Structure 1
Amino acid sequence: MPDAPASPAGRWPGDRLGRQQSGPGSIARPGVRIAAIAVDFALCFAIYTAFFYGSSWASLAIFVVEQVLFLVAFGGSIGHLIFRMRVVTLQNRWAGVWRPVLRTVLLALLIPAVIWDADQRGLHDVFAGTVLVRV
């Protein structure tokens, strides 16, 4: 009896992208993604409270700067690095400069980050051509 064809969604998140089911290179799952962004938010809020308290857009600006600088320089934000994740292109390469900038601008808008595809990539990753993977 032949194997049943894979569903359009794939057998696991990242299957359609050629990613393995688990381990290094697999799609980072929601739990660690949420934990990582919580760390980033907390660090940015601490900086905001210490230096910019009262400025209405400073906390968002700090978050955007942190994301772009760390994604370009290290392949992940502080939260990503703590939880052993990296942002890479679909070809598993360094994301460059424009992809982290686009990804971060869309992430700051929030809506693209909470709409996910079948591979558990937020629209900010889909539009930037990136994927958040385990290291």
Structure 2
Amino acid sequence: MDDRDAIGSWLSGPRAAAEQAGVDFGYPGERLGLPQDGPGSVARVGRRVAALFIDWGLCLLIAYGLIAHRDVSTANPWTMAVFAVMSVLTLGTVGSTPGKRLLGLRLVRADGGRLGVVAIALRTVLLLLVIPAVIWDRDGRGLHDKAVHAVQVRI
């Protein structure tokens, strides 16, 4: 192994280096018993982020128009509160926020059941802290989902 191989493996990351060594990681969701594609498969990051932006925009409009009385300086803190309430209510009842529903996603327990209200509230708090949501495992689940044994799937 020459210096270029060593530098190349470092630049491509540990997963690529492990794959070159023959390690098979499988597809996202395989360890959870989920299908590779189609309904019930793990939702990809792009869809999840787009759903989050849709939900946040909707909450911003509600906070700006109804609660903050069109005062931009007070709309931002209210947006977070509206987002938390919307997430707990919609995920607790139908398993999808409006953004998730528009993009064909649902939040379920890793074993396929429904999440309880306490688990959804904990997940929402962790999501609002941001850091747990941007650290993922190899199945694409953030720490906020792993903490409550949840996974976002396609419907």
> Same fold, TM exceeding 0.5?
yes
Answering whether residue 133 of structure 2 is matched by residue 133 of structure 1, we say: no
For 1:26, the equivalent position in structure 2 comes to: 41
Answering whether residue 86 of structure 2 is matched by residue 66 of structure 1, we say: yes
Answering whether residue 64 of structure 2 is matched by residue 49 of structure 1, we say: yes
Deviation at 1:97, TM superposition (A): 1.2
Distance across 2 between alignment mates of 1:116 and 1:71: 21
Higher relative contact order (CA 8 A, sep 6+): 1
Distance across 1 between alignment mates of 2:105 and 2:151: 10
- Residues 22, 134 of structure 1: CA spacing in aligned structure 2 closer, same or farther, 3 A cutoff? same
Where does the alignment leave 5 or more consecutive residues of structure 1 unmatched? Answer: none
Where does the alignment leave 5 or more consecutive residues of structure 2 unmatched? Answer: 1-21
Alignment identity in percent?
A: 43
Distance across 1 between alignment mates of 2:105 and 2:115: 13
For 1:12, the equivalent position in structure 2 comes to: 27
Paired residue secondary structure (2:111): coil
Q: How many residues align?
A: 129
Distance across 2 between alignment mates of 1:99 and 1:134: 20
Deviates more, 1:54-63 or 1:14-23: 54-63
The one of 134, 150, 154 aligned to 1:114: 134
Q: How does 1:78-97 map to 2 (within 5 A)?
A: 78-97=98-117
Q: Which structure has the highest helix share of the two? A: 2
Answering whether residue 115 of structure 2 is matched by residue 100 of structure 1, we say: no
Over the aligned positions, Cα root-mean-square deviation in angstroms equals: 1.4
Paired residue secondary structure (1:117): coil
| Moved >6 Å (runs of 4+) | none
